[in-house]
Amino acid sequence: MIRVSTSMIFNAGVNAMNTQTAMLLHLQQQVASGRRMLTPADDPVGAARALEVTQAKDVTAQYAINHDNAKSALGLEEAQLTGVNSIMARLKELTVQAGNAALSAGDRRGVALELRARFDELLGIANATDGAGQHLFAGYMGSTKPFGASIDAMIQNPALEATYQGDDGQRRLQVSATRFLEIGDSGNDVFMRIRNGNGYFATDYVAGNAGTAVIDAGNVTNTTAWNALADKNLNVTFSIDMVAVPPVTYYDIIGTSGNSLLTGLPPVLPPTAATGQNVYQANQPIVIPGAGASITISGAPVDGDSFSLAPSTSQSLFRTLANLVGALESGPTGTGSQAKYSNEIGLALTNLDQANDNILRVRAAIGSRLNEVDSLSDVNQDLQLQYQQTLSNLQDLDYAKAISDLTRKQTDLEAAQKSFMRVSQLSLFNYL
């Protein structure tokens, strides 16, 4: 038999009430906070899982911030390039106007003045900055002003190009666990690396032409054949058989080897149909043998006139404008110079089309990235909701169960208190 002392009864009663009070307090704190886990000790496994989910949710929240930043940066670049396309439309209007043979020298100077203003406007856009002072089109070198150009210097020196002080980097933001999105474009790709001519080859008149012939930009219908062509530097030359009545104009296509692409042999002069040269017909396509390409020449060439074809190279938008302004300010002064002027206007229109297409290509890439950000934002919102639901399942309190437990614990505590009060009053002396 165990002897139970009065002190043991008191200690046991107090311990029981303390335990019940602690449990009641814990339930009260759960109800007050709405959380099932007040400390990791309440559910170690659940607490560890909740920490993982919270960290994943925080990372997703940072991605959401990056999405907003990416949309802001891409939207600003898109706005600037929209302005460039508007300027390009005006440049084409002015160039077509400049090709009007009825314009006086004063009219051409007026068009040239507006083109100079548009040149400065484009240069300003190319050097545009964001709200933080970073240049949009400088690549990684955002603090460096990317473009420098003087239209007067470029007109005086046809070999001079605009200078680009940026780099080819594309600033990126992480928008998902595995995706770094480009939020900018290099000024080289936007304004400098523009293919001249038709993108495959560029046509040009040869200095000294005296006729009225004008060449177009040409076109390539078979890119495989063109790419396989060993010699892409060609000359289309004209010669006239003066013996024929009336005189007949022939053309030949000469490669850098000096041989004719039509016969495979050096050209024979004076020309006749028997020498393998073809009769020239204005405005009819001239097919380049084995190249999958053709050109069209209008007007009347004279004996010895020629036009060149060369593989397309990169030419900046600023160089194209400088060439156009130079042609306008020089102007035609005779039959030969009128043809030269018309050729320069045609070349300018072709190169402006290439520049405009390049801007549209960059804008299309920006639009694609914006669409990607929108899609990622939708996925991100779904993830945020999923993480929130998971955390709710792990942490949130079941109020019905908690209030039921709280009521039960209150009853348990009251029972402990009342039973202790009754037991503590028991004494042998009460019965003596």
Question: Which DSSP string do the residues of 230-256 spell out, in sequence order?
Answer: S---EEEEEEEESSSSS-EEEEEEE-T
Stretch 168-182: mean pLDDT:
91
Per-residue DSSP letter, 274: G
Rounded-to-integer distance, Cα 120 and Cα 147, Å = 11
Two tokens at 71? 């949309």
pLDDT of residue 223: 94
Per-residue DSSP letter, 302: -
Q: Which residue has the higher pLDDT, 388 or 19?
A: 388
| Region of poorest pLDDT, from 152-156, 203-207, 240-244 | 240-244
Tell whether the model's pLDDT for residue 413 goes beyond 80. Answer: no
- What are 323-349's pLDDT values in tens digits? 999 999 988 876 678 889 999 999 999
Name the nearest CA neighbour of 201 among 225, 178, 179, 180.
225
CA–CA distance from 301 to each of 83, 212, 251, 390, 391 (Å)?
A: 41, 6, 10, 81, 82
Contact 149, 318 (CB under 8 A): yes
pLDDT of residue 228: 92
For every residue of 331-397, DSSP letters joined together read ---SHHHHHHHHHHHHHHHHHHHHHHHHHHHHHHHHHHHHHHHHHHHHHHHHHHHHHHHHHHHHHB-
Cβ neighbours of residue 376 under 8 Å, at least 6 residues apart?
A: 63, 67, 175, 176, 179
- What are 40-59's pLDDT values in tens digits? 666 677 667 767 877 888 88
Identity of the residue numbered 193:
R
Cβ of 121: how many Cβ atoms within 10 Å?
Answer: 15
- What are 77-126's pLDDT values in tens digits? 999 999 999 999 999 999 999 988 888 889 999 999 999 999 999 999 99
Tell whether the model's pLDDT for residue 205 goes beyond 70. Answer: yes
pLDDT of residue 27: 67
Cβ neighbours of residue 255 under 8 Å, at least 6 residues apart?
A: 231, 233, 234, 261
pLDDT of residue 332: 83
Element (DSSP H or E) covering residue 234: strand 234-241
Identity of the residue numbered 387:
Y
DSSP-derived 3-state class of residue 163: strand
Classify the phi-psi angles of 16: left when phi > 0, otherwise alpha if psi is within -120 to 50, otherwise beta.
Answer: alpha
Reported confidence tier of residue 156, pLDDT bands at 50, 70, 90: very high
- Give first-to-last CA distance, the chain, whole Å: 25
Pairing of strands 278-279, 248-254: antiparallel
Reported confidence tier of residue 431, pLDDT bands at 50, 70, 90: low
Reported confidence tier of residue 405, pLDDT bands at 50, 70, 90: low
Can you give the pTM of this predicted structure? 0.81
Q: For 93, what's the count of Cα atoms within 13 Å in the CB-facing half-sphere?
A: 8
Q: Which residue has the higher pLDDT, 303 or 13?
A: 303
Kindly report the length of the chain. Answer: 432
Q: For 302, what's the count of Cα atoms within 13 Å in the CB-facing half-sphere?
A: 8
Domains delineated in the chain: 35-196+313-396 (1.20.1330.10), 211-310 (no CATH)
Two tokens at 43? 């559910």
